A = this chain, B = another copy of it.
Amino acid sequence: MTIYDVAKECGVSIATVSRVLNGSGRVSSKTKEKVLAVMKKQNYQPNPFARGLGLDSMKMIGVICTDVSDAFYAKAVSLIEEYSRQIDWNVLLTCTGHGKEEKYKFVEFLLNKHIDALIIIGTPFVHKKDLYHFEKLGSRIPIIMINSYMELPNVYGIICDEAAAVQDAVDKLQQQGCNSIAYFYDSLTYSGRQKLTGYRAGIKKYHLNAKCELEYKVEKSFEQMNTLIKKLLAEKVFFDALVTSEDILAIAAQKILLQENRTMPIIGCNNSILAQCSTPALSSIDNRLDILCKAAIEVLTKLMNNETVPTKMLFTANLVERESFQAK
């Protein structure tokens, strides 16, 4: 079933059919109805490749992140897919994994399909080289970065102000009497750097000369964090509260501390499903993926309509307080 078949059955030209298909150009309502009727009856679906060839677009948006099996990215992809679908755009997904190879090849994999826009979740790209690639890419299609940013033409950052949130959390803990707040983080992505900055700012605010000597970098894994915490306890390192860049780190710590019968306020990040499942329920900084992703699609929509949009949008995070916050 092609546009020719429809045209023939309607007794009109393919141009007319194309017009009603695209709502472009005036068509008498009478012929329009006839065409629509035939289309419906024959369940006609225009060939997307032919259409793509003509319009140079198949209404597909590329989404890239390091790993969808991670709860955070999964949530983001889920939201992006949903909002995209609502405006009739398909999502082409690619994950880079955590490997060290040239990450840009993953973008090219998507680009080979002539996507209309690229959404990058988090910070899969860290090499200087990537910057150059994105600069070139930006001249073709818009690039939206969720919780990350590069200052380049046609690149738009949708960011959650995690620095402020972490600082705020540290503030609250200090007001509660904690004065040895440890911070555990797994990576220095854009978001990771923000959080670390927030932590340091929070500490500094109270102890003007304090060094941030309770910062620990650890792999994002339950086991690794377990090991680290055990080690610190063995070494009698003192801390009376704990903030982590990821819920899973917080939870690993919680578990050990529970075993040792020590309790203290613990705050995670991402407000993932893990937070509510943990014992005690984990307080967590919610970086508002729902809002970020919705904003991303809105930006995209506006760009397609040639409307102006801010190159960077900052949203406030939200500390969700649960049992682990008051823990003494």
Which residues of A approach B to under 8 Å, CB–CB? Answer: 45, 47-50, 52-53, 56, 58, 60, 67-71, 74-75, 77-79, 81-82, 85, 90-95, 97, 109-114, 222, 248, 251-252, 255, 258, 273-274, 276-279
Contacts and interface: CB of A to CB of B under 8 A. Distances in A.
Nearest to A110: B90
A78 B72 CA distance: 13
A141 to B, nearest CB: 14
Nearest to A55: B49
Contacts of A52: 48-49, 52
| A248, A255, A277 pick with most chain B CB within 10 angstroms | A277
A30 to B, nearest CB: 28
A74 B71 CA distance: 8
Nearest to A280: B255
A310 to B, nearest CB: 27
A34 to B, nearest CB: 23
Number of copies: 2
Please provide the 3 A-B residue pairs with the shortest distance between their CB atoms, ordered closest to farther.
A49-B52, A74-B74, A69-B78
A48 B95 contact: no
Contact of A252 (B111, B258, B277): B277
A77 B90 contact: no
A48 B279 contact: no
A202 B52 CA distance: 55
A269 to B, nearest CB: 15
Given A49-B114, A68-B74, A248 B222 contact: no
B78 A85 contact: no
Contacts of A71: 69, 71, 74, 273
30 contacts: A45-B111, A47-B53, A48-B52, A48-B112, A48-B113, A49-B50, A49-B52, A49-B53, A49-B56, A60-B113, A68-B77, A69-B71, A69-B75, A69-B79, A70-B74, A71-B273, A77-B77, A78-B95, A82-B97, A90-B92, A90-B94, A90-B109, A90-B110, A91-B92, A222-B277, A248-B273, A251-B277, A255-B277, A274-B274, A274-B277
A53 B74 CA distance: 33
Given A49-B52, A52-B52, A277-B251, A90 B75 contact: no
Given A49-B58, A113-B58, A277-B255, A93 B91 contact: yes
Contacts of A58: 49, 113
Contacts of A78: 67-69, 95
Contacts of A82: 95, 97
A277 B78 CA distance: 23
| A47, A75, A77, A93 pick with most chain B CB within 10 angstroms | A93
B45 A112 contact: yes
A56 B110 CA distance: 19
Contacts of A97: 82
A93 to B, nearest CB: 5
Contacts of A81: 68, 93-95
